[in-house]
């Protein structure tokens, strides 16, 4: 049972380059999330998708875009990477809709992204 | 604005030395408080959800408690394998009653020495 799978695990980019972080879950969850984790700070929500076909901004959406490709997959795109986007990115999923549930979120093991 | 503060930032214990981690929160209406464990290089792993003041949950050497302002994660007779970062998160509710997104604390890094 894979749970939440993120690819790639590591990536180094140059300023201005673009890339897409991939996330897939096999738990038939409705909601999916992208967070970033920086030293000394809690996980901060970038974007989320409460259900297939919907996406919404979180706390720190600037510089990012997302696509909910289908129920399983939720990708995060950096169009023009900046050094401030150096971070560890986590994808998470949750079974029920965010507005009606306090189910726990299940996390992938992250993508470590460095931007030079 | 929802706020979550965890203390201490780091804690070193000898094996068998019990202690507690603190999670203080400020929210307008609490839907749930979550505890996660995070190992180096891994994503957070769910431990507990607490819903109302006075509630307690246990798992092996861990016990989580909740009051109206804070939660404690008590670790009894810890072992080196309990070494990890422990994260606390709260889910609040809007005035309409629908749930907001999780707000995470910055975590407590626990090291248990053999």
- How distant is the alpha carbon of residue A101 from its chain centre? 20
The pLDDT value recorded for residue A43 is: 94
User: Cβ-count burial of B107 within 10 angstroms (0-12 exposed, 13-18 middle, 19+ buried)?
Assistant: buried
What mean pLDDT comes out for the span A96-113? 78
Provide the shortest C-alpha distance from residue B52 to chain A (in Å): 12
Contact B49, B32 (CB under 8 A): yes
Dump pLDDT digits (tens) for A38-74.
Answer: 988 889 999 999 888 899 999 999 999 999 999 999 9
Test A105 with B87 for CB contact under 8 angstroms.
no
Higher pLDDT, B92 or B81: B81
Question: B59: closest CA among B43, B41, B75?
Answer: B75
B interface with A, Cβ–Cβ below 8 Å = 4, 31-32, 34, 36, 41-46, 49, 51, 87, 89, 91, 98-99, 101-107
**Chain B interface test: which of A104, A106, A107, A111 (most B C-beta within 10 Å):** A104
What mean pLDDT comes out for the span A104-111? 94
The pLDDT value recorded for residue A97 is: 57
- Residue A95 CA to residue A105 CA, distance in Å, equals 8
Whole-angstrom CA distances from A98 to A40, B53, B99 are 27, 22, 6
The pLDDT value recorded for residue B11 is: 98
- Residue B20 CA to residue B3 CA, distance in Å, equals 20
What mean pLDDT comes out for the span A8-30? 96
* Nearest-CB residue to B106 (from A40, A92, A105): A40
Residues of B in Cβ contact (< 8 Å) with A108:
43
Test B107 with A42 for CB contact under 8 angstroms.
yes
The pLDDT value recorded for residue A98 is: 52
Q: Token digits for B71? A: 């939660």
What mean pLDDT comes out for the span B98-114? 91
Contact B111, B83 (CB under 8 A): yes
Residues of A in Cβ contact (< 8 Å) with B99:
98-102
State the count of interchain CB pairs (< 8 A) between A and B: 57
Which residue in chain A is spatially nearest to B32 when comparing CA positions?
A102
The pLDDT value recorded for residue A1 is: 62
Residues of A in Cβ contact (< 8 Å) with B31:
102
Test B98 with A100 for CB contact under 8 angstroms.
yes
- In this predicted structure, the answer to whether residue B29 has a pLDDT above a threshold of 90 is no
Task: Give A19's Cβ-side CA count (13 Å radius).
Answer: 22
The pLDDT value recorded for residue B78 is: 97
Sign of CA dihedral B51, B54, B58, B61: positive
Q: Token digits for A114? A: 């460095």
The pLDDT value recorded for residue A114 is: 97
- In this predicted structure, the answer to whether residue A99 has a pLDDT above a threshold of 70 is no
Q: Pairing between strand B108-113 and B10-14? A: parallel
Residues of A in Cβ contact (< 8 Å) with B34:
104-105
Mean pLDDT across chain A: 92
């Amino acid at each position: 049972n894979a749970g939440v799978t993120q690819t790639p695990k590591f990536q180094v980019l140059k300023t201005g380059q673009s890339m897409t972080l991939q996330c897939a879950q096999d738990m038939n969850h409705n909601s999916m999330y992208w967070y970033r984790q920086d030293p000394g700070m809690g996980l901060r929500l970038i974007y989320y998708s409460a259900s297939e076909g919907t996406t919404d901004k979180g706390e720190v959406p600037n510089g990012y875009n997302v696509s909910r490709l289908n129920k399983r997959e939720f990708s995060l795109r950096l169009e023009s990477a900046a050094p401030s986007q150096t971070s560890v990115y986590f994808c998470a999923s949750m079974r029920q809709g965010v507005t009606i549930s306090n189910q726990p979120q299940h996390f992938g093991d992250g993508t470590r992204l460095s931007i030079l | 604005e929802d706020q979550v503060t965890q203390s201490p930032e780091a804690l070193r214990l000898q094996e068998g030395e019990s202690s507690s981690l603190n999670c203080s929160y400020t929210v307008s209406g609490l839907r749930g408080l979550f505890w996660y464990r995070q190992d180096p290089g891994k994503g957070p792993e769910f431990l507990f959800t607490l819903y109302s003041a006075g509630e307690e949950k246990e798992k092996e050497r861990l016990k989580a408690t909740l009051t109206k302002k804070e939660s404690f994660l008590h670790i009894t007779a810890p072992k080196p394998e309990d070494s990890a970062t422990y994260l606390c998160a709260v889910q609040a509710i809007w005035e309409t009653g629908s749930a907001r997104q999780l707000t995470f604390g910055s975590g407590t890094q626990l090291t248990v020495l053999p």
